[in-house]
Structure 1
């Protein structure tokens, strides 16, 4: 198969080919760009390999443009990168690698094109297109990557046990590619993942979470998580999620499998949002169910307080997994803590007070909270799901009405602590906080409207009841 015509549509390839020829270097397009080309997918990241110095090749290519092209050189790795318009061009010399058992960092030596391709992770990434004059545009596919693309299979070029033992991160990458491309993993390759899962211990949490977040962001993330579970990788870095799996039965009473329920909720969220942190809220919404699981003869299985305990678990999980310890973590924590509240309103008689409190507590996260709650309505009984969702529609309409009327989302007290202190000549104290709290409760209960006039009137009533008088009386 020859891609000369396709390469000629992009002047970048002509320039790289000319630079390689002037330096006397065998030069090739390799890896993901070749894979995507065969799949009919556009790619702006292009990797070039030459038999020789990739840095020299990059420098020669940079000089060939009529305008300045930013060049980044990484001498320690023998690589260089050019950025131009939407393109990222990476250059590296062909190399062979060997590994020590305690590290995934290889000992790198110069190598041939074949040695360079065989060190790559999967057959679908181990193809090259020649940029040399004698066979320009020719596809080189020594490990039948084309065949595996057609079969939709992820497979390693060499013995998978060696590939994964040498660089255990490739096990995460195998599952990530399978999830992104909707491919299967070759049985022998998957068996090697199970055999080498323990090797993931030598991989940094930062590397693991980068791959995991790409799986979380796929169209159907449950596929990737099922592979992580079956491959024993999830057990190595996310035991809390593994603990969700399983069903206990007492006196013929069973609870649902919370692992597979969580995956269904995650898939439901993925259908309506690409937001990574809303998806993480779906992953963690029931994370404390194993810790709060109890059996009661009358009630059966209960998980009382799992939303609060789960919220307390979120910071520790984020910290260990090297997820951001900032507003994004707090957003996930808030949704985990509140995820039962809207569903409880479906079951109960909905009061304006309960709706105001939910709007107050959720703030700007209310819309995402409602998406999570809708996703959390799962059952094998389709009629039951339909009935719940219809009731949930009513709750959402009521929330909208209450918000338009009372404006309690991101509620800011109409009377500040400073105003209370100035009005009554008070210093910072518990009394000031009590006055503010009672005003807030009165607004949330609907006793007064959310405006300064009614709030100030109530402030004076409360303060006088406590024995304080305004200074201007």
Structure 2
């Protein structure tokens, strides 16, 4: 069947065995390219064949090969049971792991390839359970129909290179649309996380989601609440780290799913009236996220992207209507940092990640006190000290937070931040600003003051750090004099 996109082969009709066995020239080129970049596939398939089993490359691996973006993660499906898969891959692979074996998946590594081999499955989900009850299937058709989207429900039997596409995945791939193999209602009832996957794939692939799929997401959004926080978090991370996160986040918000997993985001859609005007915080947030992405230097940065997404979530709780018609959000950065910590903890993020993101949210407004550059050197030192290892990200977040259409104002803010970064760089050259320590350490403080270890030492150390921040490096004699002068005031 001809297709408007000559780079993608036409879909195979489920009823046409002839189409299955006689791939078009374009199909053959696509499959050959897939096998060229994954030479281990034929070798592994022959081993399965010799053992009396079939093996097919499946799902995302086939999709990505047809999109020209296949990496080194390869997914296979087979009629062999997990114990048989282990017998086949153990003598062949460089390493084998059984983490997913309860779900029929055996993982292994061969050269630079990470491989997963999963037995045909026919999953039955308890409608109140967070995990599937796995039962094994007997055919690849049964396996493909249970997959999330048609573009992930294609396979290539190896080594004979037989292309299988019973649900029109190639056609949907060409149209850049996400549909489910069966009804979306059945699919999402089986695994509600697939609703988040729809948003994630839209963000990753820049695909549209079919109207009936969106309708099912809206009708069944509440089902996401039975999914574990860890699975929701992992799916959210993939979406946020995708090339087009705005697209996926919009779908989560518009479908009502975000209300269940990240309610702080839809809460940014603040009501506005003709008397009290302020920027659209929701749209502003999505723009800040995109502008932060533009400043990334070494690939997607989860900490920066989360901070950009959450930086203003304190605004709804702090909004006040002033008498002069203005709207204020006093201390929204402090409130937002607490809300960030609470939400990320609920989603089971690591303590370090929670700490880093909430710190950036707390500090994202600090620069606006810089004004026209009247900060003292001590204020610049405190800015760097408080940012700590997040200073570079804070630079990017602060710059991204400027979404004004007033070019004059935007240029002024940019120049002011340029000036701050230059001052930071000069001070860092002078005094290694990122590793600020008092001029006297704890042992020296105890010796000079003739005191034993205890709270007084910590108090003195903190005072010496404040002096260091305020005045910069001091000669030892001056530091000792300052310590004794302060100690004399402590009674």
Settle same-fold status: TM greater than 0.5.
yes
Q: Is contact 2:285-2:308 (8 Å) kept?
A: yes
Aligned counterpart for 1:43 among listed residues 50, 71, 86: 71
Give 5+ residue unaligned stretches, structure 2.
1-22
Maintained 8 Å contact 1:45/1:88: yes
Deviations 1:392-416 (A, max 9, x none): 2122212222333344433211123
Tell me, what secondary structure is at the counterpart of 1:349? coil
* 2:20 counterpart residue number: none
Q: 1:408 to 1:60 in 2, by over 3 A?
A: closer
Structure 1: unaligned runs, 5 residues or longer: 468-473
Is the counterpart of residue 261 in structure 1 residue 284 in structure 2? yes
- Name the residue aligned to 2:382: 357
Is 2:121–2:134's contact at 8 Å kept on the other side of the alignment? no
Assess, with a 3 A threshold, how the Cα gap between structure 1 residues 272 and 111 changes in structure 2: closer, same or farther.
same
Alignment of 1:240-259 (within 5 A): 240-249=264-273, 252-259=275-282
Cα distance in structure 2, aligned partners of 1:97 and 1:424: 72
Counterpart selection for 2:201 from 168, 177, 202: 177
User: Which residue, 62, 86, 104 being the options, matches 1:34?
Assistant: 62
With over 3 angstroms needed to count, the CA separation of the structure-2 counterparts of 1:329 and 1:98, relative to structure 1, is closer
Distance 1:148 1:453 in 2: 76
2:47 is equivalent to residue 19 of structure 1: yes
2:259 corresponds to 1:232: no
Residue 151 and residue 301 in structure 1: after superposition, are their counterparts in 2 closer, same or farther (change >3 A)?
A: same
Q: Does 1:340 align with 2:365?
A: yes
TM-score, normalised to structure 1, is 0.89
Partner of residue 200, structure 1: 224
**Could you tell me whether the CA contact under 8 Å between 1:343 and 1:392 is conserved in 2?**
no
In structure 2, how many angstroms separate the alpha carbons of the residues matched to 1:7 and 1:225? 32
**Alignment partner, residue 19 of structure 2:** none
Matches within 5 A, 1:359-398: 359-398=384-423
Measure the CA separation in 1 of the matches of 2:464 and 2:97: 60
1:308 aligns with 334
What is the aligned partner in structure 1 of residue 237 from structure 2?
Answer: 213
Please point out which of 124, 132, 137 is paired with 1:98. Answer: 124
1:271 aligns with 2:294: yes
Q: Following the alignment from structure 1 to structure 2, what is the Cα–Cα distance between the partners of residues 18 and 430?
A: 71
Equivalent residue in structure 2 for 1:122, among 130, 149, 163 = 149
Aligned-partner SS, 2:132: coil
How far, CA to CA, are the matches of 1:95 and 1:442 in structure 2? 67
Q: Alpha-carbon deviations, 1:156-196, whole Å to 9, x = none?
A: 11101110111001111111111011111111111111111
- Cα contact 2:310–2:340 (8 A) shared by 1: yes
Q: Distance in 2 between matches of 1:216 and 1:256?
A: 23
For 1:310, what is the secondary structure of its paired residue? helix
Shift of 1:225: 1.1
- The 8 Å contact of residues 149 and 179 in structure 2, kept in 1 or not, is answered as yes
Q: 1:402 aligns with which of 427, 437, 448?
A: 427
Per the normalisation by structure 2, the TM-score is 0.86
Give CA deviations for 1:129-181 in whole Å, capped at 9, x if unaligned.
1226xxx2121111111111111111111101110111001111111111011
What SS does the corresponding residue of 1:239 show, helix, strand or coil?
Answer: coil
> Alpha carbons of 1:25 and 1:465: their partners in 2 closer, same or farther (altered >3 Å)?
closer
Residues 211 and 111 (structure 1), Cα distance of their counterparts in 2 relative to 1, 3 Å cut: same
1:53 to 70, 77, 81: 81
Structure 1 residue 429, shift from structure 2 partner: 6.3
Q: Alpha-carbon deviations, 1:250-275, whole Å to 9, x = none?
A: x6221222222111111111112222
